[in-house]
Chains A and B, each alone.
Chain A
Amino acid sequence: MDSSGQRPDDRDESPVPFVFPAWVNQIPTIIPVATAVLTAVVVFVFWFWFSPKHTEVGYAPVQPVAYSHELHAGQYGIDCRYCHIAVEEGPHASVPSADICMNCHTVVKHDSPKLQAVRDSFQKGEPIEWIKVHKVADFAYFSHAQHVNKGVGCVECHGRVDQMEVVRVEEPLSMSWCLDCHRNPAPHLRPKDQVTNMAWEPEGDRQELGAKLMEEYHVNAPTDCSGCHR
């Protein structure tokens, strides 16, 4: 430095240049690695925890009546359609009205405290407010009738309900999950008379059987947007 420009207090010290510590040399490596890891974590968090596979699957709310599918559908083997009456004709499978429960429960367990809500509903005409478990997005139009009449078993989307004490969501019900089947329905088809049989196992190759059923049932699963969105 030019001596004429020296400040008084600098006069006695020799100029020591600032030296970056050695670890700083790692920064060019750390930043991209950290960014990559962080990105991976963020992507993973959203991809996994925010995807229907995580947000939907496993949902098992407590219902106002402690109804057990495991008991009714599993142990007693009551057919799904005894209660879900609209499944073969309409878009909704329909949750049974209280009078369907009372068909049996006027005789069976007619004084069980667990059934108080059902009896009240039947007598007072006030519906039971069940909590919706399986939910397809509002902007997608789904019809049960279209599926069960084409050999898509209940178990394909709902899982082994006959083994569930409390109904839980087994499949993500997401668009890509729907499309997986719509693009290749064969492995998800079964004979129509086995649609409500949760324990059915195909004899022989399922893809082959499915291909045969596709032809027999005129299965033509739409992959156009307007198939579901309208």
Chain B
Amino acid sequence: MSHRHDGNEPHDHMHHDPKSDGVAERDPALLPVEENGKIYWRSADHVAGTSEFHEFVTREFPQGADELLDPVSRRSFISLMGASVAFAGLGTACVRRPVEKIIPYAKRPEDLLPGLPQYYATTFNVSGMVTGLVVESNDGRPTKIEGNKLHPASAGATGSLEQGAVLSLYDPDRTVRVLKGGAESEWPAFDADWNERFVALRAKGGEGLLVVHEATRSPAHAAMIAQLAEALPKATIVEWDPVSGEQTLAATRLAYGQALEPVYRLERADSIVAVDADLLGSSPFHLRYGRDWASRRHPEGPGGMNRVWAVEPVFTVTGGAADHRLRIRAGEAGTFLRALAAELQQRGVSLPAGVAAASDAFPAAFVQTLAKELAGKRGRSVIAVGTHQPAEVQAIALALNEALGNVGETVRFAAAPHAPSKSQVEGIAAAAKALDAGKVDTLVILGGNPAFDAPADLGFGAAMAKAKHRIHLAEAPNETSLLADWVLPQTHFLEEWGDATALDGTYSVVQPLIQPIWDGRSKVELLSQLAGAPKKGYEIVHGHFLATQGGEAEWRKALHDGVHGGAQLVEASFQAGAVSAAAAKVARPAAASADSLDLVFTVDHKVFDGRFSNNGWLQELPDSMSKLTWSNAAMLSPATAKALGLETNQMVRIEQGGRSLDAGVWVQPGLADNTVAIALGYGRKHAGRVGTGRGFDAYGLRATDSLWMASGAKLSRIAGTALLPTTQDHQSMEGRPLVREQTAKEYAANPTYAQTLVKGPRSLALWKSHEYVGQQWGMSIDLNSCIGCNGCMIACQAENNIPVVGPEQVRMGRQMHWIRIDRYFASSTDDPSDLSEPEVVHQPVSCVQCEDAPCENVCPVAATVHSKDGGLNDMIYNRCIGTRYCSNNCPYKVRRFNFFDWHQEGEGALTDVSQLRFNPDVTVRTRGVMEKCTYCVQRINVAKRDTKLRGSEIVPDGAIVPACAQACPTEAIVFGDINDPNSRVSKSKAQPRSYEMLGELGTKPRTSYLARIRNPNPEMVS
């Protein structure tokens, strides 16, 4: 490979001044690769061949990354090292290992054997997202979260938020004790104080008490709220979440006269139309939807492939998975649906009057082809609208689903008993007003952070200070806690009893895995106390179960299974008249321009509404589309950025509705033009050691009348640079056909295209090949099902004790994720000025466990060698001396080096409590050691142990599931024995679209990929 430049050829850089700018000499090998009429690229820098990209490709780490920088210089480091070596020599000359203790139980709990993990079912329940979990506990410490196969929202999968929860449990910045006026206090002091206040409040029937709580799908919580309302009838109880699905409830109230949750059956849908709806990325059922969607993405499978049409303003995970994608303005979703209705009506679909309205705002071919397809697939399509879109817009989609006969087939409705009777926004606005008017004597906030995330026009924080007594139950002290006089420690969901109902109404239990670490109380416990009858969480939840769900035997079973009963689906009758009236009001918004932009707020799938800001795993996770870490940004489409003369990393001021925000610019291909999109939840001022000051606080721009979108925003360049940390150009593998894709039609004509794309002889092995007998492990990753949701990345991080490095280190390319997801944009042109409407392909890459591994040959100390059993590329940390030759020689760029002891310094530094999170089955690596994916060898060994203890020798197929495959909602990752022709992985690898990435190098990778097959409507393909 004459054009390869590796870190061991520093001379290359002598000729190249990284600061000269603009476009470097365009080395053809580094330019985006062209295959099958498309070009694949990672970033605008890549397409343009700028020096920044050149730098990332030619050096494994950018300039300076492998040099020791702060906080100690190399010279002082060496002198310190010398001294410490001398002391070490003196101190430990008498070799006697330190005394270690073995501390057994005084009384051993039943069923617990030291060193063997236990598993309990529980439920993740955050702001309406309910996912059934099975949590692994090692010697009493919850360490790893997996999905509960019996739970409808999980189906065995987990997303990044669920995976990250374990880190939040051990967050050293949690509320560790009761605080009164910022000083340390105790629960009894609060209890005495509250008892006194309760007597006074009860005398007035609760007048002057304002309780703010978060939306929850917990029946026990709802019962406690009802009990509080009964005990103190004049108290005001308000529900507030910055991210809520209440517009959907409003839409169903409009269309069906009752609050309902639409539940889709994507496995039955041939056509899925997602209008500003991130079904696969952020819906409360996204894991389940991912599983169901993927079940119809196998070209060789029964039923044929489904087709996804995404119509959206920002690039979502669903948009990336779509077969057709149309960029629209956020405010045009209703207009689009009405235009689609008009086309459907012309094709004989009968709709309520007033719903259809033709529009020329969208490409006629797109709308017409879509309408034709939907008209021909009655009862076999789904039209979904984002839950943040206005109720009227969502009602139009409900009307379309009714008209197409989808309701009852692919669209069903679940009861929504948790639906608040009042609108959340109106509730919080009234609460802020009452506070401001001094009408509130006692304010109790259960969880949440309204001082940070309530609409900016309410001035909630300032109003809050006017309440005489302010009580905040908080998992971690936040912006709201700063304004409270009592801050009470709240339990994490892994420490408390509770319950929840999934989107489809399935009941599940929240059971604790550990005693409250910081003596916290749960929300239901505090609610019972507020109502004057304090009870323990178990009494409340268990009691509520017995009263409403079933007997003791059912309770035991519910604890074991995690779920009880099934979906609570209801039939509802459609009220066409109401929808007609509402739909007619949906008008096309006034035109936007570069001077008057649409402002769109997005929900971040990492920090969510800001509550996970202090979670290092989530912060460091690269965003699915932008690959940004540790920050949000003012996202602009390439055309809009050009029109405004802005570039990535420049600071701008966004002004809208009299409010302004300074933020860094990120140019995001695939975004609607004349739109600035910004994720909520960043810019926390008081989040803790990890989350404070990351990104820009979009809540500062958000008002009651513009919760999700606003028009007339202005952008102006201000001084400064944001230096947004991103991984999009990291670990690039140069211009070679790494991702391969075809359309369904091309696949039918030439199924072995992906395998035969690279012509010419393979490199020959220099050494005699290993003999692979017995069970040999391999992996197959289906690019057709991978949606780039990041579930695998964080599951791997949790399983394998992978450290967090922090934003500065990410910018240097030192992130440690063992599995990364390479996001490639694909477009039909390489003109850098037109990157607006790219397609996306995600490719998860971890160590591919080459049979002839280039890394093994160059290790001077044999710290990476091949295993006979299983054929793994073993990495032995205690032998590694850190030469980094292996990483340099790895064509896949999957090896990660510990430049520092990440567990001792920086954002991820350990404390006494945070080290409890470690998986005891995996070595914690230190500075100077190379590491990489092991195929979860600890899980392989455990499965082998269990098989052997049962007296069998062959580990059954499916008994070993690596962490990434277990988390994956779409089952894109399959692992197993490649020597067994009947294993799932062998069958997957036998498909004609299976190919080896860089197989032409003769590495014989054990991980292979299945080419992506797009399924465009044949009429849309020119």
Contact = CB atoms under 8 A, between A and B. Distances in A.
Contacts of A99: 105-108
B8 interface: no
B101 interface: yes
Interface string B994-1020: 000000000000000000000000000
Contacts of B938: 141, 230
A230 B922 contact: yes
B876 interface: yes
Contacts of A138: 923
B702 to A, nearest CB: 47
Contacts of B922: 230
A226 B874 contact: yes
Interface in B777-792: none
Interface string A177-203: 000000000000000000000000000
B106 A127 contact: yes
Contacts of A91: 115-116
> How many residues of A sit at the interface, in one of the four size bands?
35 or more
Contacts of A55: 95-97
A222 B774 CA distance: 13
A98 B116 CA distance: 20
Interface stretch (A20-28, A74-82, A118-126): A118-126
Interface stretch (B199-207, B861-869, B969-977): B861-869
B923 A139 contact: yes
Given A149-B949, A229-B878, A89 B113 contact: yes
B945 A146 contact: yes
B90 interface: no
B876 A225 contact: yes
Contacts of B105: 97-99, 127
A128 B95 contact: no
Given A89-B113, A94-B114, A225-B865, A139 B878 contact: yes
B102 interface: yes
Contacts of A128: 103-104, 106
A131 B101 contact: yes
A61 B108 CA distance: 25
Given A129-B103, A130-B104, A218-B953, A139 B877 contact: yes
Contacts of B101: 129-132
B733 to A, nearest CB: 26
B100 interface: yes
A132 to B, nearest CB: 4
B590 interface: no
A218 B950 CA distance: 11
Given A139-B877, A225-B865, A225-B874, A90 B921 contact: no
A169 B113 CA distance: 24
B104 A94 contact: yes
B941 interface: yes
Given A90-B114, A135-B97, A141-B921, A226 B937 contact: yes
Most buried by B among A96, A125, A137, A224: A224
A85 interface: yes
A50 interface: yes
B197 interface: no
B876 A127 contact: no
Contact of A97 (B104, B867, B870, B941): B104
Contacts of A49: 95
A39 interface: no
A229 B863 CA distance: 11
Contacts of B103: 127-130
B518 to A, nearest CB: 21
A57 interface: no
Contacts of B874: 224-226, 229
Interface in A56-107: 61, 85-86, 89-92, 94-100
B97 A130 contact: no
A127 B872 CA distance: 42
A174 interface: no
A204 to B, nearest CB: 26
A229 B877 contact: yes
B547 interface: no
A177 to B, nearest CB: 16
B97 A98 contact: no
Nearest to A124: B106
Contacts of A227: 867, 869, 941
A203 to B, nearest CB: 25
A224 B869 contact: yes
Contacts of A61: 99
A223 B113 contact: no
A138 B921 CA distance: 11
B16 interface: no
A229 to B, nearest CB: 5
B941 A98 contact: no
A145 interface: yes
B948 interface: yes
A143 interface: yes
Contacts of B865: 225
A89 B868 CA distance: 26
Interface string B99-138: 1111111111000011110000000000000000000000
A127 B869 CA distance: 41
Given A218-B948, A225-B865, A86 B113 contact: yes
A74 B99 CA distance: 27
Interface string A109-125: 00000000000011011
B879 to A, nearest CB: 8
Given A132-B101, A229-B877, A85 B95 contact: no
Contacts of A143: 945
B934 interface: yes
A100 B95 CA distance: 35
B210 to A, nearest CB: 43
Interface string B923-958: 100000000001001100100010011010100000
A141 B101 CA distance: 18
A64 B491 CA distance: 37
Given A98-B106, A131-B100, A230 B923 contact: yes
**5 cross-chain pairs, A with B, having the tightest CB-CB distances, nearest first:** A224-B867, A97-B105, A132-B100, A91-B115, A86-B113
27 contacts: A55-B95, A86-B115, A91-B116, A94-B113, A95-B102, A97-B104, A99-B107, A122-B106, A128-B104, A128-B106, A130-B102, A131-B100, A132-B100, A135-B97, A149-B948, A149-B949, A150-B948, A218-B951, A220-B953, A224-B867, A224-B869, A226-B934, A226-B937, A227-B941, A229-B874, A230-B921, A230-B923
Interface of B: 95-97, 99-108, 113-116, 865, 867-870, 872, 874, 876-878, 921-923, 934, 937-938, 941, 945, 948-949, 951, 953
Given A137-B878, A226-B870, 17 more contacts: A50-B95, A89-B116, A92-B115, A97-B104, A97-B108, A98-B105, A99-B106, A99-B108, A122-B106, A128-B104, A132-B100, A138-B923, A139-B877, A139-B878, A229-B876, A229-B923, A230-B934
